[in-house]
Homo-oligomer: A and B are copies of this chain.
C-alpha cells in the first residue's frame, strides 16, 4: 500500500487481517440475528404488547433522525469546506504526492466529510439496529421462558451480543479503513470519524435519557406513588412508554455511547501512534492498537458464544454462565497480547499499558460495585437511613455519590500515573500513547460488555411483556430471575462506560497537543513556542479562565438535562391523570391510550437535542476564538475534570438509591409499603434522571467537546492574529445563542398543578 512506506510484509498482512476480523465480527452479528429471528414470538397477546413497544421505539428513532439530520448536513459541509481555511498538512501532501496540491485539498476535504458521515452513520446504526434487535429479542425471550430457562437466557444474551459485535466490528472497520486509505495523513479523517460517532452518541444519549426517565418518573409518580397501583400495571397509560424508554435509553443510548468510546480510543490511539511513527520511524506503534482490537473481537466471538444457561431451574446459573464467557474472552485476549508483545513489538511497555487497561476495567468495576451494590456498606447505610425519612436518605446518598467520585478519580489518576511510570524518562508523547493504549485495553472486550449491558433491557422488557400478557407463574419466575441478572450486568458495564470515557478524553487531550504542535510547526512557529514545548499553562490567567469555564460546562449540561426530565415527566403525569378519569379504566374494562404517552416522550426527547448539541459544539469554539488555543486546552482540562466527577457522582448516587430501595423491598425495615420504603422510593426517583439521563450524557459530551477542539485547533492557530474584537463579537453571538437556549429551556413542574385531579386507587 502506498500509504505505508516501510511496512514489513507482516504489517501489511496484519492490516488486512484486522479488516477481515472486523468483517467477521459483523458477519457473526448477522449470524446471531438469523438465529434469534427464527425463534417463536409467542401468543398474539404477547405480540400485541410487543407491537406497541416496537412502534413506539420506531417512531422515536424516526423523529430523532429528522431532528438531527439538518445539523448533520450543515456539519458535513462545514467539515468539507474547512480544508479551504487551513491548507492540507504536510503529511497529506506526502501521502498524496502523486496528486496536485489543489486536488489533495479536495481529497482531504472529502475524506474528512465522508469519515464524519461514516462515524455518524455507524453510531446511529449501532444504536438503531441494536435497539431493534433488543425489541425483536424481548418477545422471543418471553415466549421461550414458557418452556426453557436456558433457551430464554440464550436468546436474551445473543440478542445483546448482536449489538456488541456491531460495536466492535463497525468501530474497528472504520478506523482500519481510514488508516489504510490515508496512511500518515489519517488524523484529519480520523477526527471526522470520531466526531460523527460521538455527536450521534450524544444525541442518542440525550434523547434516550430524557425519554426513558420522563416515562419512568412520570409513570411512577402518578401510578405507584399517587394511585398506588403496581409497576407495569396495564391501567397506567405510561406503561408502554416506560418499556419503550428502556430500549431507547438503555439499549440505543448505551450502545451508541460505548461504540463512541470504542471508536474514540482507536482514533486517539492511531493519532498518537502516528505521532510516535513520525518520531521513531517505526510503524509498530500504529499496527499494535489495531491488532489488539482485532484480537479483542476474536475473543469476544469466542467467549460470547459459550454463554448458555446450564440447567433449566438453577437460579444464578445465568450470571455464572455470562461471567464464564467473559473470563474465557479475557484469558484468550491476554495470552494473545502476550504473544504480540513478545513476537512483534519486541518490547513490553505497550503490552503493560494494555494490561493496565484491563486491570482498570476490573478495579472500576469493583469500586462501582462497592458503592452501589446491596451487599456492601454504602447501600446498607442508605437503606438504614430511610428509617429517619427521605431527607436523611437523600443526604446519605449524596454523600455516597460524592465519595465514590473521589475514589473513581483516584483510580483514573493512578492509571495515568502508571503510564508515566511505564514510559519513565521518555518524551511526553510516549506517556500519552500509553494512556491511549490503556483505553484500548480497557475496551478490549467491548463485545462482551455491550452484550451484558443490552441483556438488561431485553430481560426487563421480556418481563414486562410477560406481566402485561399474563404469562403463567412458572414462566414469570424465569423472567423475573433473568431481569434481576440483567440489572446486575447492566450496572457492571456502566462503570466501564464512564471510566473509558475519561481515559478516551485524556487520550484525545493528548492528541490535541500533538495536533496543535504539528499545525504550529507547519506554520513555521519556532519549536520552543509550540504547545508541546510550552504546554497548557493554567498559571496563565487566560488559560485559568478557560479551565474555570470548562469546569462549568458539565454542570450546565446536567442542570438542563434534569430540568428536561422534570418538565417531560410532569406532562406524563398530567396525561396519565386525565386518562385515569376515563370511565371504566380503573376497573380494567377500558384500555388506556398508550400512544399519547409515547408521543409526549418522543417529542420531549427531541426538544433538547439541538440546544444541548449546540452547547457542546459551540462552547469550545467560543473559548478558542476569544481566549486562544492554549486557553482552549485549559477549557478541555476543566471539562474532563468536572465531567468525570459529576458523572460518577450522579451514577453512583442514583445506583445506590435504586438498590437501597431494592433492599427494603426485599423485606428490610418493614419491606414494601413501610415508611422506610416510601422514603426509598423518593431516593430512587431522584436518582433516576441523575444516573440514567444526566450522568451518561456527560460521556459523549466530554468527547464531542474534545473533538470539536481538535478539529477547530488548526483554524484557531491560523487566525490567532485576528483581533480580539472579532473574538468578542463571536463571544457575544455565542452568549446570545446560549442565553436564548437557556431561557427557552427554563421551566419546571408547573404544568402538574392539579394533584386533586388524580383519582385515588
Contact = CB atoms under 8 A, between A and B. Distances in A.
Interface of A: 217, 221, 225, 377, 381-382, 384-385, 387-392, 394-396, 398-400, 402-403, 405-406, 409-410, 412-413, 416-417, 419-420, 428, 431-432, 435, 506, 509, 513, 531-532, 534-542, 544-545, 547-549, 551-553, 555-556, 558-560, 562-563, 565-566, 569-570, 573, 633-634, 637-638, 641-642, 644-645, 649, 675, 681-682, 685-686, 689-690, 746-750, 752-753, 755
A384 B570 CA distance: 11
A452 B537 CA distance: 40
Contacts of A649: 555
A406 B739 CA distance: 13
Nearest to A434: B541
B402 A555 contact: yes
A4 to B, nearest CB: 30
Contacts of A432: 541
Nearest to A225: B389
B563 A539 contact: no
Contacts of A642: 551, 641-642, 645
A263 to B, nearest CB: 23
Contacts of A431: 541
B540 A535 contact: yes
Contact of A535 (B387, B417, B539, B553): B539
A217 to B, nearest CB: 8
Contacts of A539: 428, 509, 513, 531-532, 535-536, 633
A428 B645 contact: no
A387, A531, A570 pick with most chain B CB within 10 angstroms: A387
Copies of this protein, total: 2
Given A410-B552, A536-B537, A536-B538, A749 B381 contact: yes
A560 B381 CA distance: 14
B686 A394 contact: yes
A131 B659 CA distance: 44
A399 B641 contact: no
Contacts of A391: 217, 221, 681-682, 685-686
A381 B540 contact: no
Contacts of A641: 547-548, 551, 638, 641-642
A395 B221 contact: no
Nearest to A412: B548
Contact of A555 (B413, B535, B542, B645): B645
A377 B542 contact: no
A559 B392 contact: no
Contact of A566 (B395, B535, B685): B395
Contacts of A637: 538, 544, 547
A555 B388 contact: no
B506 A544 contact: yes
A563 B410 CA distance: 21
Contacts of A419: 541
12 contacts: A381-B749, A384-B748, A384-B753, A385-B566, A388-B570, A406-B553, A410-B549, A416-B544, A531-B539, A536-B537, A642-B645, A675-B755
A391 to B, nearest CB: 4
B412 A562 contact: no
Contact of A541 (B385, B428, B552, B555): B428
Contacts of A221: 388-389, 391-392
Q: In the complex, which of the residues A394, A534, A565 has the most CB atoms of chain B within 10 Å of its own CB atom?
A: A394
A650 B72 CA distance: 38
A569 B388 CA distance: 10
Given A536-B538, A540-B428, A645-B552, A749 B387 contact: yes
Contacts of A562: 395, 398-399, 402
A217 B556 CA distance: 30
Contact of A390 (B558, B565, B682, B752): B682
Given A385-B566, A420-B545, 13 more contacts: A217-B391, A225-B389, A385-B748, A394-B682, A416-B544, A435-B541, A509-B539, A535-B540, A536-B539, A538-B538, A555-B645, A642-B645, A675-B755
Contacts of A749: 381, 384-385, 387-388, 392, 396
A567 to B, nearest CB: 10
B406 A556 contact: yes
B645 A541 contact: no
Contacts of A435: 541
- Residue from A409, A549, A569 having most chain B Cβ neighbours under 10 A: A409
A413 B381 CA distance: 39
A365 B577 CA distance: 41
A545 B390 contact: no
A565 B395 contact: yes
Contacts of A409: 548-549, 551-552
A415 to B, nearest CB: 9
Contacts of A685: 389, 391-392, 395
A637 B541 CA distance: 11
Contacts of A403: 555-556, 559
A219 to B, nearest CB: 13
Given A545-B417, A555-B403, A558-B402, A752 B633 contact: no
**Which of A398, A531, A549 has most chain B Cβ within 10 Å?**
A398
Contacts of A382: 748
B548 A413 contact: yes
A130 to B, nearest CB: 29
B555 A406 contact: yes
A368 to B, nearest CB: 16
Contacts of A559: 399-400, 402-403, 406
Given A221-B389, A406-B552, A551-B641, A384 B750 contact: yes
A287 B449 CA distance: 64
Contacts of A555: 402-403, 405-406, 645, 649
Contacts of A413: 545, 548-549
A513 B540 CA distance: 10
B385 A755 contact: no
Tell which of A385, A412, A417, A539 has the most Cβ of chain B within 10 Å: A539
A675 B563 CA distance: 22
Nearest to A551: B641
List of 6 A-B pairs having minimum Cβ-Cβ separation, nearest first: A535-B537, A381-B748, A391-B685, A385-B749, A402-B559, A403-B559
A388 B675 contact: no
A119 B553 CA distance: 37
Contacts of A753: 384, 387
Contact of A686 (B395, B541, B566): B395
Nearest to A386: B749
B556 A402 contact: yes
A689 B402 CA distance: 14
A591 to B, nearest CB: 25
A569 B402 contact: no
A383 to B, nearest CB: 9
Residue among A402, A431, A633 with the most chain B CB within 10 A?
A: A402
